[in-house]
Every structure is written in C-alpha cells, then in structure tokens.
Amino acid sequence: MDKAILILNAGSSSVKFALFQARSLEPLCRGGIEGIGSKAQFGGSSGREAALFDREALSESSNHEAATCWLLDAIRRSEHVALVAAGHRVVHGGPDFSTPVAIDDSVMAALDALVPLAPAHQPHNLAAIRAVATAWPGLPQVACFDTAFHRTMPRLAQIFAIPHELTDQGLVRYGFHGLSYQHIADVLPGIAGEAAKGRVIVCHLGHGASLCAMSEGRSIATTMGFTALDGLMMGMRCGAIDAGLVLHLIEQRGMAPAEVSEILNRRSGLLGVSGLSNDARTLLASEDPRAAEALDLFAYRVVREAGSMMAALGGLDALVFTAGIGERSARIRSTICQGLNWAGIALDEARNAVSASCISEDGSKVPTYVVAADEELPIARAVTRVGIID
C-alpha cells in the first residue's frame, strides 16, 4: 500500500485534485470534476492510479460535498493507496498566514474571517475542507495559501498610497498565484543554476495572469494587488486601470457596483478588447484586427510591468514563463521578449518555437526559460513539512 496525500483545489464550479505518494511525492493521479452546481461530471484523470475513479458513479446533481465524498469513497476502496492527509489550495491567507498551516478549529475560524477578502473563492476552498472533515473524520488537513508566497514583500511593495487607517485595516497588496511561484522557486535552481538565486521575473500567464519579482527565491514585488483584478490584462479581467474610471462609471454613468464588477472582472481583458474570446488560442487563430490588438495589448502590458519588476529588483538575471499562455504560445512569448530586448533578453526563435526549457540564445545576458506550472506539488510538499504525517 502506498501512503498517499490528496490535494484539492476547489473552485466555484470545479474541483481539481491530485494524489501524491506521501514519501517520494511521486504523482499517482491527477484529475478534475467540472460543472458542479449545474451538471457535475468527472473530467477524467491521468497517472498510475487513474483507474481509481469511476466515471459512472458521480451523480450529475453532485454539489461540492457530494463530489468530495465521491473522490474520498473511490480512494477508500483502493487496494493500492492509503490516504494519510489532505492538502488544500486556499486563496486568501490574509496578513497573518505566511506559511502553510495544519487545520484545526481555530484556523478554520480565522480563515472564515477572511471570506470578505475573497468572497468568490474562499468559501469554496473552506467548503472542501469541511467536506473532507465530515467524510473522513480525523484525516489531517493542511491549508496552503495563494497569498502566502508574497508575505516576504517589503512594506513599500505592499502598501497603497491611501489613508494609513485603511492600510492598517488590511487594505494592502496581497498578490496571488503564490503556489505557482512557490513551485518555480522550488524547481528553478535545478534548471537555471546560479541565476535562480539572483533577480528573477516569473510571468504566470494563464486565464489569470501576473508577474512576480523574486530575489533569492523570495517574492519582493508582484502585479496582482488587494484582489486578483490588478496588474496585467487577463482573459476577462482588465488588470490595472485608473481608479477614476471606476468612479466615473458609478458616479456619472449611474452603474451599480455589481454591474461595474461584471464589466471589470468578466467582460474586459482579452475578451473585452477583442470582442471575440477570452481564449488566447482563438485570438491567435483569428484574422480580426481586434484580436490582434487584444494580443498586442496583452504583451505590451507584460513588457511594461516587467520593466517595473526590474526596477524593483535592480536588474534581471533570469526570466521565466509559466501557465497556459506562458508555456504554450511561442508567438506571445516572442512579442514579449522583443519588447524586453533592451534588458538583455535574446530569444532563440527555434528553441522558442518548440517551447524548449531554455528559449534564449546561448549568449543571452538574461537566460529565459519555460517551466511547466504545478500548483498541486508545492501543496503536497507543504503537507509533508508541517509535521502531521508519521
């Protein structure tokens, strides 16, 4: 029997999961459940233990709790795997949680209190923790936070130029995608050697997108802010815009806050600018000039913000691309790297075309890499480190 750790990443209508061997952290299986709340379905799984999960047995009407029970029941029936702990992606750790934490009642109360900071995501993350506690009483559980990696940022990178009373109430830049950045910090020394210990910019470019400036593997600046709406242009989110524009929509156009939120979170970004799609692949395949403009703006915003990250770092020793667009779109990487040529980034187009691990020329002052995103492995690693497994 393999002792195993279950990792859950619960979203509003989906749950991504992964099983890792507890000692070696070998991935045993990864998969997902989609359509929760409408028509729940198992999205398939891959890996050595993929056969554990039975496509037929998940009811379409499953809510989050039922879906979690379905996963745990499948693991319970396994003759190969003995579950010893669960780890969860939790979007917000607030000002206090700067490292992964073993979950108990007082931690849950503290995490509940952070719901107003991430009302669209935190409740789903916490529901998954409660569902596991109900379905598998006594199973040790660990929470890992998307914000935690950025708690190392200096104060000036965290505070906004707003009245200090508001800063004191926690209205600061938290930053997100921290698990993705943690993974890059973990694996980059094996890929980039000495450069990984220096000044690094990581571009996490997926549906959500952000940059992180890392010094010696620690975050010193990031583009997302108090919420995940700040910074880069994204699939549907606008990224950084003039707060005065938001006030204009409310005060002059008479829009309700929910309407403004819908525009900025769901009708902007690649989707809003192109008028076509939030999916970079669709835009890359389109001949519509608006699609081209949306992609150009996406790359322009990355270049502008990368310049800001470089200023915070005082230079640059390595650049990393990760997540859907970062890993797979040679064209978007190429446009971004052309815009950063002045900073010493010389792309090797042949390497870039095949998304090689190193995509810069041999003599490039700043070596540039493509690294596969993995937000589950750093959670599994954290579970083994908090001392809850024998």
Q: Is 211 in the site for ligand ADP (CB under 6 A)?
A: no
Q: Does 353 bind ligand ADP (CB under 6 A)?
A: no
Residue closer to ligand ADP by CB (options 173, 204) is 204
User: Quick one: 136 or 149, whose CB is closer to ligand ADP?
Assistant: 149
Binder of ligand ADP out of 235, 239, 272, 367 (CB under 6 A)? 235
Tell me the site size for ligand ADP, rule CB under 6 A: 13
Closest-CA residue to 163 (of 175, 171, 154): 171
Q: Which residue has the tokens 């989707």?
A: 271
With a CB cutoff of 8 Å and minimum separation 6, the contacts of 376 are 7, 9, 16, 18, 20, 27, 30
Is 179 or 309 the residue whose CB approaches ligand ADP more closely? 179
Q: Taking the complex as a whole, how short is the minimal distance between the CB of residue 45 and ligand ADP, in angstroms?
A: 17
Torsional sign, CA 73, 76, 80, 83:
positive
Stretch of 23-31, 142-150, 274-282, 286-294 contacting ligand ADP, by CB under 6 A:
274-282
The three-class DSSP label of residue 347 is strand
Rounded least distance, CB 208 to ligand ADP, Å = 5
What is the distance between the alpha carbons of residues 143 and 128, in angstroms, rounded to a whole number?
A: 11
Catalytic-role residue among 54, 105, 146, 317: 146
Binding window for ligand ADP (CB under 6 A); candidates: 61-69, 86-94, 182-190, 201-209: 201-209
Binding segment for ligand ADP among 142-150, 204-212, 312-320, 335-343 (CB under 6 A)?
204-212
Our finding on whether 206 is near ligand ADP (CB under 6 A) is yes
Residue 272 near ligand ADP by CB under 6 A: no
Closest of 151, 162, 168, 179 to residue 87, by C-alpha? 179
Per CB under 6 A, 231 contacts ligand ADP: no
The least CB distance from residue 99 to ligand ADP, in Å, is 23
Q: Is 203 in the site for ligand ADP (CB under 6 A)?
A: no
Task: Kindly give the pairing relationship between strand 81-90 and strand 101-102.
Answer: unpaired
CA 131, 113, 160, 373: dihedral to nearest 10 degrees?
A: -10
Q: Which two tokens stand for residue 302?
A: 């990355």
Residues 257, 267: contact at Cβ < 8 Å?
Answer: no
Helix (H) or strand (E) holding 15: strand 15-21
- Nearest residue by C-beta to ligand ADP? 324
- Site for ligand ADP contains 248 (CB under 6 A): no
Nearest to 210 by CA among 356, 328, 309: 309
Nearer to ligand ADP, 236 or 340 (CB): 236
For ligand ADP, which stretch binds (CB under 6 A), given 48-56, 157-165, 223-231, 275-283? Answer: 275-283
What are the CA-CA distances from residue 200 to residues 120, 182, 183, 211, 255 (Å)? 31, 13, 14, 10, 41
DSSP H or E stretch at residue 219: strand 218-222
5-64 binders of ligand ADP (CB under 6 A) = none
From 58-66, 120-128, 154-162, 206-214, give the range in contact with ligand ADP by CB under 6 A. 206-214
**Is 146 designated active site?**
yes
Please report whether residue 323 would count as binding ligand ADP according to CB under 6 A: yes
The count of other CB atoms within 10 Å of the CB of residue 200 is 27
- Among 69, 213, 325, 366, which residue interacts with ligand ADP (rule: CB under 6 A)? 325
Stretch that binds ligand ADP, among 241-249, 276-284, 306-314, 357-365 (CB under 6 A): 276-284
Q: Is 333:347 a contact under the CB 8 Å cutoff?
A: yes
Q: Would you state the structure tokens that stand for residue 131, as one six-digit string?
A: 């569902």
* 180 touching ligand ADP, by CB under 6 A: no
Q: Does 217 bind ligand ADP (CB under 6 A)?
A: no
> CB under 8 Å, gap of 24 or more: what pairs does 40-43 form?
40/66, 40/67, 43/14
Q: Is 280 in the site for ligand ADP (CB under 6 A)?
A: yes
Say how far residue 7 (Cα) sits from the centre of its chain. Answer: 15
Binding site for ligand ADP (CB under 6 A): 206-208, 235, 279-281, 284, 323-325, 328-329
- Residue numbers annotated as active site: 146
